[in-house]
Protein backbone atom coordinates (compact mmCIF):
# COMPACT_ATOMS: atom_id res chain seq x y z
CA UNK A 1 0.00 0.00 0.00
CA UNK A 2 1.11 3.56 -0.61
CA UNK A 3 2.49 5.52 2.33
CA UNK A 4 0.28 8.19 3.82
CA UNK A 5 1.89 11.50 4.84
CA UNK A 6 -0.75 12.42 7.45
CA UNK A 7 0.38 12.34 11.08
CA UNK A 8 -1.50 10.38 13.68
CA UNK A 9 -2.50 6.86 14.50
CA UNK A 10 -1.75 3.89 12.26
CA UNK A 11 -2.90 0.29 12.00
CA UNK A 12 -0.02 -0.64 14.31
CA UNK A 13 -1.62 1.51 17.05
CA UNK A 14 -4.85 -0.46 16.67
CA UNK A 15 -2.99 -3.67 17.40
CA UNK A 16 -2.02 -2.23 20.80
CA UNK A 17 -5.54 -1.22 21.91
CA UNK A 18 -6.95 -2.87 25.03
CA UNK A 19 -9.55 -5.61 24.84
CA UNK A 20 -12.12 -3.54 26.73
CA UNK A 21 -15.30 -4.23 24.76
CA UNK A 22 -15.11 -1.06 22.68
CA UNK A 23 -14.60 -0.86 18.92
CA UNK A 24 -11.47 1.06 17.93
CA UNK A 25 -11.20 2.71 14.52
CA UNK A 26 -8.79 5.05 12.78
CA UNK A 27 -10.27 7.59 10.41
CA UNK A 28 -8.02 10.17 8.79
CA UNK A 29 -5.27 9.22 11.22
CA UNK A 30 -7.43 9.85 14.30
CA UNK A 31 -8.14 6.92 16.60
CA UNK A 32 -11.55 6.75 18.23
CA UNK A 33 -13.15 4.24 20.55
CA UNK A 34 -16.80 3.51 19.94
CA UNK A 35 -19.01 1.86 22.57
CA UNK A 36 -20.61 -1.46 21.77
CA UNK A 37 -23.90 -0.99 19.89
CA UNK A 38 -27.29 -0.77 21.56
CA UNK A 39 -29.85 -3.59 21.09
CA UNK A 40 -31.78 -1.78 18.32
CA UNK A 41 -28.49 -1.46 16.39
CA UNK A 42 -27.72 -5.15 16.82
CA UNK A 43 -31.23 -6.06 15.69
CA UNK A 44 -30.68 -4.30 12.35
CA UNK A 45 -27.30 -6.02 11.89
CA UNK A 46 -28.86 -9.41 12.67
CA UNK A 47 -31.84 -8.83 10.39
CA UNK A 48 -29.81 -7.74 7.40
CA UNK A 49 -27.13 -10.38 7.81
CA UNK A 50 -29.65 -13.20 8.22
CA UNK A 51 -31.65 -12.04 5.20
CA UNK A 52 -28.62 -11.66 2.92
CA UNK A 53 -26.28 -14.41 4.15
CA UNK A 54 -28.12 -17.45 2.78
CA UNK A 55 -28.76 -16.15 -0.75
CA UNK A 56 -25.51 -14.26 -1.24
CA UNK A 57 -22.81 -15.77 0.99
CA UNK A 58 -24.01 -19.38 0.93
CA UNK A 59 -25.83 -19.34 -2.42
CA UNK A 60 -28.99 -20.82 -0.87
CA UNK A 61 -31.97 -19.52 -2.82
CA UNK A 62 -29.86 -16.79 -4.42
CA UNK A 63 -26.87 -16.11 -6.64
CA UNK A 64 -24.08 -16.60 -4.07
CA UNK A 65 -20.63 -15.24 -4.90
CA UNK A 66 -20.16 -12.99 -1.87
CA UNK A 67 -18.43 -12.93 1.50
CA UNK A 68 -20.68 -11.11 4.00
CA UNK A 69 -19.18 -10.19 7.36
CA UNK A 70 -20.58 -8.48 10.47
CA UNK A 71 -18.23 -5.86 11.95
CA UNK A 72 -15.04 -6.72 10.06
CA UNK A 73 -11.91 -4.67 10.63
CA UNK A 74 -11.03 -3.24 7.21
CA UNK A 75 -7.82 -1.38 6.37
CA UNK A 76 -8.30 1.28 3.70
CA UNK A 77 -4.63 2.20 4.14
CA UNK A 78 -2.44 2.48 7.22
CA UNK A 79 -4.29 5.53 8.59
CA UNK A 80 -7.86 4.50 7.78
CA UNK A 81 -8.85 1.29 9.52
CA UNK A 82 -12.55 1.09 10.29
CA UNK A 83 -15.17 -1.42 11.35
CA UNK A 84 -18.27 -1.17 9.14
CA UNK A 85 -21.34 -2.68 10.74
CA UNK A 86 -21.68 -4.98 7.73
CA UNK A 87 -19.50 -5.40 4.67
CA UNK A 88 -19.44 -7.60 1.61
CA UNK A 89 -16.88 -8.63 -0.98
CA UNK A 90 -17.48 -10.33 -4.29
CA UNK A 91 -15.52 -13.58 -4.20
CA UNK A 92 -14.05 -12.88 -7.61
CA UNK A 93 -12.18 -9.98 -5.95
CA UNK A 94 -11.51 -11.71 -2.61
CA UNK A 95 -11.27 -15.47 -3.29
CA UNK A 96 -10.45 -16.36 0.33
CA UNK A 97 -11.65 -14.59 3.45
CA UNK A 98 -8.69 -13.53 5.62
CA UNK A 99 -8.59 -14.58 9.27
CA UNK A 100 -7.91 -11.09 10.62
CA UNK A 101 -7.89 -7.54 9.31
CA UNK A 102 -9.08 -7.33 5.70
CA UNK A 103 -7.01 -5.16 3.37
CA UNK A 104 -9.25 -5.34 0.30
CA UNK A 105 -11.83 -2.57 -0.19
CA UNK A 106 -15.36 -3.97 0.20
CA UNK A 107 -17.84 -3.89 -2.68
CA UNK A 108 -20.61 -3.03 -0.20
CA UNK A 109 -20.70 -1.50 3.26
CA UNK A 110 -23.57 -0.82 5.60
CA UNK A 111 -23.54 1.44 8.63
CA UNK A 112 -26.27 1.37 11.25
CA UNK A 113 -26.23 4.90 12.61
CA UNK A 114 -26.76 5.95 16.19
CA UNK A 115 -27.01 9.45 17.61
CA UNK A 116 -23.29 9.36 18.48
CA UNK A 117 -22.17 8.04 15.08
CA UNK A 118 -24.57 9.80 12.69
CA UNK A 119 -22.17 12.48 11.35
CA UNK A 120 -19.22 10.07 11.35
CA UNK A 121 -21.15 7.54 9.25
CA UNK A 122 -22.87 10.06 6.96
CA UNK A 123 -19.88 12.34 6.37
CA UNK A 124 -16.48 10.93 7.29
CA UNK A 125 -17.02 7.25 6.55
CA UNK A 126 -19.14 8.09 3.51
CA UNK A 127 -16.25 10.15 2.09
CA UNK A 128 -13.73 7.40 2.91
CA UNK A 129 -15.83 4.71 1.24
CA UNK A 130 -16.34 6.81 -1.88
CA UNK A 131 -12.68 7.86 -2.10
CA UNK A 132 -11.40 4.29 -1.76
CA UNK A 133 -13.73 2.61 -4.25
CA UNK A 134 -16.60 1.07 -2.26
CA UNK A 135 -19.34 0.68 -4.87
CA UNK A 136 -22.44 0.40 -2.66
CA UNK A 137 -23.16 2.02 0.69
CA UNK A 138 -26.28 1.50 2.79
CA UNK A 139 -27.11 3.69 5.77
CA UNK A 140 -29.71 2.36 8.20
CA UNK A 141 -31.10 4.63 10.91
CA UNK A 142 -33.03 2.70 13.60
CA UNK A 143 -34.23 5.93 15.24
CA UNK A 144 -35.65 7.34 11.97
CA UNK A 145 -36.58 3.78 10.88
CA UNK A 146 -35.04 4.23 7.43
CA UNK A 147 -32.75 2.41 5.01
CA UNK A 148 -30.98 4.56 2.42
CA UNK A 149 -28.90 3.13 -0.44
CA UNK A 150 -26.12 4.89 -2.33
CA UNK A 151 -24.12 3.78 -5.36
CA UNK A 152 -20.79 5.27 -6.46
CA UNK A 153 -20.89 6.62 -9.99
CA UNK A 154 -18.15 8.76 -11.52
CA UNK A 155 -16.77 9.85 -8.15
CA UNK A 156 -20.04 10.78 -6.44
CA UNK A 157 -22.68 8.96 -4.45
CA UNK A 158 -25.96 8.55 -6.31
CA UNK A 159 -28.94 7.91 -4.07
CA UNK A 160 -30.78 4.79 -5.22
CA UNK A 161 -33.63 5.30 -2.80
CA UNK A 162 -34.85 5.34 0.75
CA UNK A 163 -37.30 3.05 2.51
CA UNK A 164 -39.11 2.93 5.85
CA UNK A 165 -41.82 1.05 7.78
CA UNK A 166 -44.27 -0.72 5.51
CA UNK A 167 -41.82 -0.78 2.59
CA UNK A 168 -40.32 -3.82 0.98
CA UNK A 169 -37.30 -3.22 -1.20
CA UNK A 170 -34.95 -4.90 -3.63
CA UNK A 171 -31.78 -2.91 -3.24
CA UNK A 172 -28.55 -3.05 -5.26
CA UNK A 173 -26.32 -4.97 -5.07
CA UNK A 174 -28.67 -7.49 -3.44
CA UNK A 175 -31.74 -7.21 -5.67
CA UNK A 176 -32.40 -10.96 -5.65
CA UNK A 177 -33.91 -10.74 -2.17
CA UNK A 178 -36.73 -8.61 -0.89
CA UNK A 179 -36.14 -6.76 2.37
CA UNK A 180 -38.98 -5.98 4.78
CA UNK A 181 -37.56 -2.67 5.95
CA UNK A 182 -39.84 -2.20 8.95
CA UNK A 183 -39.00 -5.72 10.10
CA UNK A 184 -35.41 -4.62 10.72
CA UNK A 185 -36.45 -2.31 13.54
CA UNK A 186 -37.77 -2.83 17.05
CA UNK A 187 -41.56 -3.10 16.68
CA UNK A 188 -43.51 0.04 17.45
CA UNK A 189 -45.84 -0.13 20.44
CA UNK A 190 -49.46 -0.67 19.45
CA UNK A 191 -51.53 2.45 18.96
CA UNK A 192 -53.77 3.19 21.91
CA UNK A 193 -57.37 2.16 21.48
CA UNK A 194 -59.72 5.06 20.80
CA UNK A 195 -61.62 6.21 23.85
CA UNK A 196 -65.28 5.30 24.02
CA UNK A 197 -67.63 8.25 23.56
Any domain includes 6: no
In the chain the first and final C-alpha atoms are separated, in Å, by 72
d(C-alpha 82, C-alpha 76), whole Å? 8
Any domain includes 136: yes
CATH number at residue 136: 3.90.1570.10
User: What total of structural domains would you count in the chain?
Assistant: 1
Beta bridge partners of 158: 151
pLDDT > 90 in the chain, percent: 67
SS3 of residue 146 by DSSP: strand
Any domain includes 29: no
SS3 of residue 72 by DSSP: coil
Dihedral sign from CA coordinates of 36, 38, 44, 50:
positive
What pLDDT band is residue 190 in, cutting at 50, 70 and 90? confident
Expressed as residue numbers, the domain containing 163 is 39-184
pLDDT digits (tens, 9 = 90+) for 22-70: 788 888 888 888 777 778 888 999 999 999 999 999 999 999 999 999 9
pLDDT digits (tens, 9 = 90+) for 146-174: 999 999 999 999 999 999 999 999 999 99
Other CB atoms within 10 A of residue 56 CB: 24
User: What is the structure's pLDDT at 1?
Assistant: 33
Any domain includes 56: yes
Any domain includes 75: yes
Any domain includes 47: yes
Any domain includes 64: yes
Phi/psi class of residue 65: alpha, beta or left (left: φ > 0; alpha: ψ in -120 to 50)? left
User: What is the structure's pLDDT at 5?
Assistant: 41
Amino acid sequence: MATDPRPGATARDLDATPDDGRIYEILDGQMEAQPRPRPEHGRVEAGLSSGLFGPYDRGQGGPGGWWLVVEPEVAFGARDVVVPDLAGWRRERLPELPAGRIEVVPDWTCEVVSPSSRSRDRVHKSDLYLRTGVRHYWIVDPEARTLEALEAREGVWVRLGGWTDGDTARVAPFEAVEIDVGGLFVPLPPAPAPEAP
